[in-house]
Amino acid sequence: MLSFDNSFARLDVNFYTHNATTPLHNPSWIIKNNALASELEISLNNDPENKLLRALSGGQPLPGSQPLAMVYAGHQFGQYVSQLGDGRGVLLGELKTSAGQWDLHLKGAGLTPYSRGGDGRAVLRSSLREYIASEALAALDVPGTRALCVTSGTDTVWRETLEPAAMLVRVAKSHVRFGSFEFFHYSGQLERVKELADYCIEKYYPEITNEQRSQRYISFFKSVIKRTAILIAKWQAVGFAHGVMNTDNMSIVGDTFDFGPYGFMDRYNEAYVCNHSDHQGRYAFNAQPGIGLWNLNALGHALSSLIETADLQEALAEYEPQLITHYSALMLSKLGLVEQQPDDALLINSLLSLMQANGADYTLTFRGLANIESSVLVQQFSDKAGLQAWLTNYRARLKNNDIRKEQRQKHMNEVNPLYIARNHLAQEAIEGAENGDYTELHNLMQLLAAPYMEQPNQEKYAAAAPAWSHALKVSCSS
Ligand code: AMP
Ligand code: MG
């Protein structure tokens, strides 16, 4: 029996619209996340009358849930769009567990008042892409929403072609976005901005609740800034590109949120644009830190009825140093260096430049560095002399590293993954699932759940992307 406490539904009705789900026909499970289910103290396997299956494919309300579509706005590719909202998903409710509360959101659940001409559905392909990345990032210790299951039915929807429809259950601490604040700010509902800020502080940042009124909103903003800086530092360190960093896709708790045309980088390219629809490269890999700041500026503006301009500016100034500090620490750790020394930034940057020039695989280069004689490292670079020159500097640096070699190697293999959600692997798993064969999907998910541990007979998943995959394109269509 699931137990809900729906605090968002207790807010004023201006924040959402109650909205029933539209069922998929003849539903079946595509994939269940049993590990996450047990964290949530539920079992997806103990479902004799298919009640859970029906509920999680939109067919029957879960007792205690109060499905609602949240309203928000957002800056999309730099342009303000005054009315967005959950156009194809609903917040089912807030699940109570002994460890805390979790939003259960059903994505692809049918039309809502915010569907704006869309069909309210999600396709199997994009639902599985979100499922795969959510769980891959969680295993890499990158904050993000989680995925409990994907269901599908006999329904089809039209994108560029006819595709199977599906639903994903997204599990998150929060579904409040930067764009939620923008909606109320720009529509002049300043009381609601305050109400939403108070709600977020109490629910997600309880450590702030006791602060004086004059301080609490700036503390809230600073906390969001800090979490966002840490989030983006982690993306940059694992080579993850989000693809659509619109302010409606920025979580107020600093989670990776709304996985669309994301990409885990194969060959290192700092200007990597994973979203085929992003013609200007606004959300290119190396633009993410700056876009994070742009989005925080937008949030700051939406909070300007609560926080003085000078305080907003002072808070925003903390973002860049926090991001750099976290990123540097992560990169140092990837190189197996225990304490930062003055030339380390140079060492990291010169490695990245070399990787860029050689099209070296980001993941395999770092994985290979634990053992610098390894063939996997050397294979990444056509400029062998360039690699050897860099390795000479690296070896010299390792002489001033206060850790034994075996320990360093062990540590590096615990922070540099071997298995990542490469585009072509996700594609194969999805194509299999579309044809009713889940072998690839299950195998991939098992490896991504423990991405640092080398498994026997899984060379294919640990290999660089094959040439055919460079042509794979991922667009916003989902
Ligand atoms: P996204 O690109 O998924 O972040 O979505 C941006 C906005 O478009 C949100 O308001 C979504 O709810 C809405 N949206 C995306 N796809 C659909 C769809 N198939 N039907 C209705 N609304 C959609
Ligand atoms: Mg979105």
DSSP sequence for 198-249: HHHHHHH-GGGTTS-HHHHHHHHHHHHHHHHHHHHHHHHHHTEE-S---GGG
Q: Nearest residue CA, atom 14 of ligand 1? A: 87
User: Which listed ligand is nearest to 257 at the C-alpha?
Assistant: 2
Q: Which residue ranges in the chain fall short of pLDDT 50?
A: none
Evaluate whether 151 touches 27 at the Cβ level (below 8 Å): yes
Ligand 1 pocket mutation, candidates 16, 75, 115, 183, criterion most atoms within 8 A of CB = 115
Evaluate whether 123 touches 159 at the Cβ level (below 8 Å): yes
**Pocket, ligand 1, Cβ cutoff 6 A:** 84-88, 114-116, 118-121, 244, 249, 258, 260, 476
Residues 6+ apart with CB under 8 A from 412: 334, 335, 336, 366, 369, 370
Evaluate whether 269 touches 180 at the Cβ level (below 8 Å): no
User: Which listed ligand is nearest to 261 at the C-alpha?
Assistant: 1
DSSP H or E stretch at residue 255: none
Closest by CA to 171, choosing from 56, 53, 25, 21, is 56
CA pair distance 101, 99, nearest whole angstrom: 7
Tokens representing 460?
């294919």
Cα dihedral angle (325, 329, 334, 336), rounded to 10 degrees? 150
User: Which listed ligand is nearest to 122 at the C-alpha?
Assistant: 1
Q: What is the pLDDT of residue 281?
A: 97
Evaluate whether 474 touches 430 at the Cβ level (below 8 Å): no
Enter the DSSP assignment of 174. Answer: -
* Active site positions, annotated: 248
Evaluate whether 71 touches 114 at the Cβ level (below 8 Å): yes
Residues 6+ apart with CB under 8 A from 415: 330, 333, 334, 452
Q: What end-to-end distance do the CA atoms of the chain give, in Å?
A: 32
Predicted TM-score (pTM) of the model is 0.98
Ligand 1 pocket mutation, candidates 105, 116, 247, 295, criterion most atoms within 8 A of CB = 116
Enter the DSSP assignment of 442. Answer: H
Q: What is the pLDDT of residue 176?
A: 99
Angle between helix axes 213-238 and 319-334 (nearest 10 degrees) is 30
Residues 6+ apart with CB under 8 A from 362: 239, 265, 266, 267, 268, 355
Q: What is the pLDDT of residue 452?
A: 98
Q: Nearest residue CA, atom 12 of ligand 1? A: 87
Evaluate whether 154 touches 26 at the Cβ level (below 8 Å): yes
Residues 6+ apart with CB under 8 A from 132: 421, 426, 429, 444, 445, 448
CA pair distance 322, 129, nearest whole angstrom: 30
Q: How far is CA 441 from CA 28, 37, 425, 438, in A?
A: 16, 18, 9, 5
Tokens representing 310?
């000078």
Report how far ligand 1's centroid is from the alpha carbon of 258 (Å): 10
Residues 6+ apart with CB under 8 A from 455: 447
Q: What is the pLDDT of residue 231?
A: 99
Q: What is the pLDDT of residue 477?
A: 84
How long, in residues, is the chain? 478
Residues 6+ apart with CB under 8 A from 231: 142, 143, 254, 255, 256, 292
Report how far ligand 1's centroid is from the alpha carbon of 119 (Å): 9
User: What residue type is 226 in one-letter code?
Assistant: K
Triad 386, 388, 391: Cα angle to 5°:
110
